[in-house]
Homo-oligomer: A and B are copies of this chain.
Amino acid sequence: MLAEGPAIILVEPQLGENIGMVARAMANFGLGELRLVSPRDGWPNEKARAAASRADHVIDAAVMFEDTASAIADLNFVYATTARPRDNFKPVRGPVEAAAELRSRFAAGQKTGILFGRERWGLTNEEVALADEIVTFPVNPAFASLNIAQAVLLMSYEWMKPGDQAVRPAESRSEPAAKQHIESLVAYLDRVLDERGYFRTEDKKPKMIENLRALVTRPGFTVEELAVLRGVLTSLEKFSPKKPRGSGAPDAG
């Protein structure tokens, strides 16, 4: 069934019919890995199976997750699909560019995924912040109304499309750390910065955390680079000029 390629991740999909149509779109273009974050009507869902039109292998293999972060924890590179540009400094690609990027990373052995938001209001800013880049569709500005199955269809089609979109020669690009490493660092920053009054007021904190996540996500840091960064932060956290590393007990703060 050629079920290789990026994981398709639906965040809180509402209608089983849409999930089924997504599975059908994926199967048509050789994709097989469907991940669902808290589908509204639970799982399994007979409406999804009916709408999948015999793409049972995709429906049967679908995996459930509690939240978006855990759904992408093992992935190296993730696109978020959005209908409108967002003010968050992430690179914005069209489907052709995005598919080329995904193929290139697939050829290099990386695990990739594409996030699709809720039927009514898409992805939250926090969910978009989890991704590396944004993909948006070149729709008519006077009528922009793609549903999630249509959006999945276009990305799946671009993924499989042959011809001038041949896989680019493997770049000697380093492999970005899996998302769980990013989340671990963000959780660490949340803790040590909160203790130090970095976030000023509680209402400012969510946006500040989002900016920090964007900062450490955007470079596509490798596991090794994240380890160096973590070492720098820990040195600042644990030690001080009066009590440097190796002088005995670390500064209790």
Could you tell me which A residues sit within 8 Å of B by CB distance? 1-2, 24-25, 27-30, 53-55, 85, 89, 91-92, 94, 96, 137-140, 142-147, 150, 153-154, 157, 160-165, 168, 172-174, 189, 192-193, 195-198, 200, 211-212, 215, 218-222, 224-225, 228-229, 231-233, 235-237, 239-242, 244-247, 251, 253
Contact = CB atoms under 8 A, between A and B. Distances in A.
A136 to B, nearest CB: 10
A23 to B, nearest CB: 10
A214 B96 CA distance: 31
A108 B89 CA distance: 41
Nearest to A191: B241
Given A85-B172, A153-B153, 19 more contacts: A24-B147, A27-B143, A28-B146, A53-B145, A55-B145, A89-B225, A96-B161, A137-B157, A138-B165, A138-B168, A153-B154, A193-B235, A196-B240, A197-B244, A198-B235, A212-B228, A219-B220, A236-B237, A240-B251
Contacts of A53: 145, 147
B222 A89 contact: yes
Contacts of A224: 89
24 contacts: A24-B150, A27-B143, A28-B139, A28-B145, A28-B150, A53-B147, A54-B145, A89-B174, A150-B150, A150-B153, A153-B153, A189-B232, A193-B232, A193-B236, A195-B241, A196-B235, A198-B235, A200-B245, A212-B228, A218-B225, A219-B220, A219-B221, A232-B233, A236-B237
B225 A145 contact: no
Nearest to A193: B235
Contacts of A172: 85, 91-92
Contacts of A138: 29, 157, 160-162, 164-165, 168
A188 B54 CA distance: 46
A185 to B, nearest CB: 11
A143 B55 contact: yes
A211 B167 CA distance: 30
A140 B196 contact: no
A228 B242 contact: no
A222 B90 CA distance: 12
